């Protein structure tokens, strides 16, 4: 929850200008945000125990940004990524106490993509407001499946038993409470692949914040 690493950096989003400028070619964009993962958790970064061959391959084929500044918690990281603004400016500066919400009127990345005719989807953890009025569907996403906040904020927490049941949502509908967390990565990935296949002939923005 407190250690977050961008596995796949956002590429080309700055080309989508909100002043009416349009590109002849609109590249599809996929952002994968890996939660609960530290820099040293990959074998390509020298971990002697963990074996991460697929991420190692991505590492070898990628442009790597090694000078970066990130927030130390879930909500600020997500808010800064989706707004391009510091957490204290966009309002989403903490994970609780009403400070996990993006300020009204701030344009988000999926909203910019939508204005350019992109289909947008999020499969994974949101953590920028857990009621429907703050859901991803109110911030530019067409499709949403995942958790409204951290997967460890549930009754099975090892020390804090005060958390309510954890909802798994599709759009604004709660599919089930306290879902099998062993299945989350598979569910997110399956939906991501289906979204890509369904929209491969048109521009899309896919956000995969794994939890």
Helices (H), ranges, the chain: 53-61, 74-83, 87-90, 109-115, 184-198
Residue entry with tokens 């048109």: 202
E strands, 108-191, are 119-125, 143-147, 167-170, 173-177
Known catalytic residue at 127:
yes
From the number of C-beta atoms within 10 Å of its C-beta (0-12, 13-18, 19+), residue 106 rates as: middle
Contacts of 122 (CB under 8 A, 6+ apart): 110, 136, 141, 143, 144, 145, 146, 207, 208, 209
Known catalytic residue at 54:
no
Catalytic residue among 127, 139, 157, 210: 127
Using alpha carbons, select from 6, 18, 56, 3 the residue that is nearest to residue 140.
18
Catalytic residue among 69, 74, 157, 210: 74
Active site residues: 74, 127
């Amino acid at each position: 929850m407190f250690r977050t690493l961008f596995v796949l950096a956002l590429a080309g989003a700055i080309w989508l200008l909100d002043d009416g400028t349009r590109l002849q070619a609109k590249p599809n964009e996929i952002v994968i945000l890996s939660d609960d993962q530290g820099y040293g958790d990959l074998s390509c970064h020298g971990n002697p125990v963990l074996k991460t061959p697929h991420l190692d391959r991505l590492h070898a084929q990628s442009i790597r940004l090694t000078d970066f500044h990130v927030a130390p918690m879930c909500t600020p990281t997500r808010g800064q990524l989706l707004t391009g603004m510091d957490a204290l400016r966009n309002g989403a500066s903490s994970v609780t106490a009403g400070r996990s919400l993006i300020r009204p009127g701030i344009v988000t990345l999926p909203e910019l993509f939508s204005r350019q005719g992109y289909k947008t989807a999020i499969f994974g953890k949101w953590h920028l407001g857990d009621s429907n009025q703050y859901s991803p569907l109110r911030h530019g996403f067409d499709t949403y499946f995942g958790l409204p906040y951290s997967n460890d904020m549930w009754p099975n927490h090892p020390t804090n038993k005060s958390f309510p049941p954890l909802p798994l949502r599709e759009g604004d509908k709660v599919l089930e409470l306290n879902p099998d967390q062993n299945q989350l990565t598979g569910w997110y990935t399956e939906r991501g692949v289906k979204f890509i296949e369904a929209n491969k002939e048109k521009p899309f923005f896919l956000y995969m914040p794994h939890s």
